[in-house]
């Protein structure tokens, strides 16, 4: 005997299923938004370094750091992960600033090198604070070790 398999039913499943799972996704998103304050280190954003961190993020974006680095594993895979660079550099913002400052303008022959951005002291501060803030987000234990 013939099997019923109708376009109408297929269509209903498409619309119904999509709506169903999108609603479920919204429900989970709603729950996530409620949980984020416990994990996303927003205390730092609201604290005294808040404005610095905000400035640091703008600098991070306006210099396209993500074009070479990853941040929490997302970005380009050309240069080291920076989500945990603060801990990798011994919990030191000074070490981060020193590294950014020390990049040679003409690069290193034959090797990958970070450009020299000529940041001001204030900008360096802001970037370092931003990276410190990111390192204190609860990422469920990622990365597996300090090497990122």
Partner 1 sequence: MTYKSQSVAKLYFIAAIALFAAQILFGLILGLQYVMGDFLFPHIPFNAARMVHTNALIVWLLMAFMGAAYYLVPEESETELFSPLLAILMFWIFLVAAGLTVAGYLLVPYSTLAELTGNDLLPTMGREFLEQPTITKLGIVVVALAFLFNIGMTILKGRKTVINLVLLLGLTGLAVFFLFAFYNPTNVVLDKYFWWWVVHLWVEGVWELILGSILAFVLIKVTGVDREVIEKWLYIIIAMTLITGIIGTGHHYFWIGTPEYWQWWGSIFSAMEPIPFFMMTVFAFNMVNKRRREHPNRAATLWALGTAVMAFLGAGVWGFLHTLSPVNYYTHGSQITAAHGHMAFYGAYVMINLTIISYAMPLLRGRNAANSNKSQIWEMWSFWLMTIAMVFITLFLTGAGILQVYLQRVAENPQPFMVVQDQIALFYWLREIAGLMFFGGLVVYIASFFVGQDEPEATVAQS
Partner 2 sequence: MQEQVIDTSDVLHDRHPPGDLAIWIFILAELSVFAVFFAAYAFTRMNNVELFNEFQQHLDRQSALLNTLTLITSSYFVVRAVAAIKENNHKLCVNWLLAAISMGFLFVVIKSAEYAHHFGEGINLSTNTFYMFYLSLTFFHFMHVIMGMVILGAVAIKAKNGGYSDIEHTGVETGASYWHMVDLVWLILFPLVYVMR
Give the nearer residue to partner 2 in terms of CB position, either 5 or 121. Answer: 5
CB of 94 to partner 2, least distance (A): 36
**Contacts (Cβ under 8 Å, ≥6 apart) of 73:** 81, 83, 142, 143
112 binds, among partner 2, partner 1, none (CB under 5 to 8 A by kind): partner 1
- Nearest distance from C-beta of residue 12 to partner 2, angstroms: 8
Q: Which residues here bind partner 2, judged by CB under 8 A?
A: 1-7, 9-10, 13, 16-17, 20, 23-24, 27, 31, 34-35, 38
Burial code of 6-32, b = ≥16 C-beta within 10 A, e = fewer? eeeeeeeeeeeeeeeeeeeeeeeeeee
């Amino acid at each position: 005997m013939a099997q019923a398999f109708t376009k109408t039913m297929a269509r209903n499943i498409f619309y119904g299923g999509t709506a169903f799972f999108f609603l479920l996704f919204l429900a989970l998103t709603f729950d996530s938004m409620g949980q984020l304050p416990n994990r996303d280190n927003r205390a730092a954003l609201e604290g005294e370094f808040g404005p610095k961190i905000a400035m640091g993020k703008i600098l991070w974006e306006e210099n396209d750091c993500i074009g070479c680095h990853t941040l929490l594993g997302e970005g380009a895979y050309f240069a080291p992960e920076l989500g945990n660079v603060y801990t990798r550099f011994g919990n030191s913002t000074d070490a981060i600033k020193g590294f950014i400052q020390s990049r040679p303008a003409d690069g290193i022959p034959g090797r990958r090198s970070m450009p020299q951005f000529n940041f001001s002291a204030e900008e360096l501060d802001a970037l370092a604070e931003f990276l410190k803030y990111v390192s204190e987000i609860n990422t469920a234990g990622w990365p597996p070790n300090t090497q990122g």
